[in-house]
Amino acid sequence: MLFGRQTGCTNLPMSKAQTELENDKNIHLIDVRTQEEYREGHIPGSCNIPLGRIGEIEKAVPDRDAKLFVYCLSGSRSASACAHLVRMGYTNVTNIGGIAQWNGRIESSQAVRL
């Protein structure tokens, strides 16, 4: 959890994140992988904002106090995205790691563009 303390965001294991997502429909689930990766398979209900465009999150989630769960493939890009979001002023940012640890349903579709 050292990373979370350094950046102001927290880390949550994917298994616990799944439970929270089931119980709290107000969580914004952000996939920071590329659009191609997102189209190949993503967590249902997630919004695709690639890491290189994370500054555009303001279009999708203008409320800086909104609860954000961020994921990628393995957890590395989501950690970088979380640090950036905290620097942007988002106050409730959680890195839930990589989709590789997701045990739920995966959707394949077109990326949702901002």
| CA atoms within 13 A of residue 77's CA, in its CB half-sphere | 19
Residue 81: φ, ψ to 5°: -65, -40
Q: Is 104 left (phi over 0), alpha (psi -120 to 50) or beta?
A: beta
- As annotated, the active-site residues are 72
Cβ proximity of 70 and 97 under 8 Å: no
